[in-house]
Amino acid sequence: MLGYVLDEVFMDHHAPSGHPERPARAVAARDAILATGLVAIGRHVAVRAPSDAELMAVHDGQHIERLAKLVAGNDGWVDPDTYFSKGSWRAATLAVGATCELASQALSGEITRGLAVVRPPGHHATRDRAMGFCLLNNVAAAAAAARAAGAARVAIVDWDVHHGNGTQDIFWQDPTVMYLSVHQYPYYPGTGAPTETGGATAPGATVNVGLPAGAGDTDYAAVAAHIFAPALREFRPDLILISAGFDAFVHDPIAGMTVSAAGFATLAAIMRSVADEVCQGRIIAVLEGGYDLEGVGSGMAAVTNVFMHTAPSVSVAHELPILGGVRAAMDATASAHAPWAQWAKRWPSAKSVA
């Protein structure tokens, strides 16, 4: 069963004029999902408030108190990027509750796969800081909720074009949550170097692939198939969460990648295939960024279609890309993980492939 979260409340986080993280993004995602026919076969999962425990699992209590006081019922800015409006606190907290609910339902078997169209996005929010258009970290809270519901290990795959510094920060010392990100690098927020591999208590549980601007469908598919998939097979999570941003889309106004809707479908298919293999199909995609409306709509529809149909067809070249910058980025990640990971120990040297 495919569970989905679609709710008008996520359009009540009103953007100042000209801000790219605007309600029309959620409208585009919703309309594209409705056009797939999901509603006829999926299970609507209602939004709910998060429990204090769900919030405090990933955020500092005093920070939450201060942020709630600042944001709830007000208009303003947390920083020069990150606004809030009168409906923002309700939207942000319900986004956390809804993604936690999907994770809990995946662990209890009520759903297998899930989709969440939520705003504001979350992956830049750290334990004690709202930033980068993000107030609360939805996907991190869902990972913690899955752990609380009995998952021994959870993986978060982040294909938003930006590095999810907040998610990385929250689980930096946690060997039970693997964070894997592919992102434009160097770029906002500046983190996500291949050498960032996890804290002392969680070596290798953070996997960063920083790609040069211009990377497209085959490059992203190669990262998913040759780095993320083997890393996930070794980690054997009980649930895979996807920080599904669509700002690597070719026409995105704030980033420089060239991924198409077909590219997002391939990424989703590779991840679904790994989920089918290692965690009984449990996989949940949560909307993060994506600022071109066609990119958000077509990307979200691509993921929905892959999650709706039973046998995703994945065709990925077996050869590693040899395009200079992309191959060098993948080599750097493999080299950083060679101390811990079998997939990285087996990684062919640049010399033998080139």
Binding-site member from 160, 219, 238, 331 for Zn ion (CB under 5 A): 160
- What residues contact 51, with CB distance under 8 A and at least 6 apart? none
Return the exposure string of 325-347: e unless at least 16 CB atoms fall within 10 Å of the residue's CB, then b: ebbebbbbbbebbeeebebbeeb
DSSP state of 134: B
Contact string (CB under 5 A) for Zn ion, positions 57-96, x = contact? ----------------------------------------
Does position 164 interact with Zn ion (CB under 5 A)? The reply is no
Mark the segment that binds Zn ion (CB under 5 A) among 71-79, 190-198, 289-297, 332-340: 289-297
Dist. CA 220–CA 266, nearest whole Å: 9
- What residues contact 243, with CB distance under 8 A and at least 6 apart? 122, 123, 139, 156, 157, 158, 159, 160, 164, 167, 181, 286, 288
The 10 Å Cβ neighbour count of residue 138 is 34
Mark the segment that binds Zn ion (CB under 5 A) among 108-116, 240-248, 328-336, 344-352: 240-248
- What residues contact 90, with CB distance under 8 A and at least 6 apart? 9, 12, 72
For Zn ion, the closer CB: 219 or 247: 247
Min separation Cβ 23 and Zn ion, Å: 17
Does position 169 interact with Zn ion (CB under 5 A)? The reply is no
Min separation Cβ 254 and Zn ion, Å: 8
Dist. CA 263–CA 265, nearest whole Å: 5
Min separation Cβ 123 and Zn ion, Å: 8
Residues 130 and 37: beta-carbon distance below 8 Å:
no
318 labelled catalytic? no
For Zn ion, the closer CB: 111 or 300: 300
Mark the segment that binds Zn ion (CB under 5 A) among 2-10, 69-77, 243-251, 275-283: 243-251
Min separation Cβ 261 and Zn ion, Å: 17
Among 13, 59, 123, 124, the active-site one is: 124
Dist. CA 139–CA 149, nearest whole Å: 15
Rounded to 5 degrees, what angle do the CA atoms 229, 282, 224 make?
20
Binding-site member from 166, 198, 245, 297 for Zn ion (CB under 5 A): 245
Min separation Cβ 142 and Zn ion, Å: 18
Does position 247 interact with Zn ion (CB under 5 A)? The reply is yes
For Zn ion, the closer CB: 101 or 160: 160
Mark the segment that binds Zn ion (CB under 5 A) among 15-23, 200-208, 210-218, 282-290: 282-290
Q: Which amino acid is at 283?
A: I
Q: Which amino acid is at 243?
A: S
List active site positions: 124
Q: Which residues of this chain interact with Zn ion, rule CB under 5 A?
A: 160, 162, 245, 247, 289
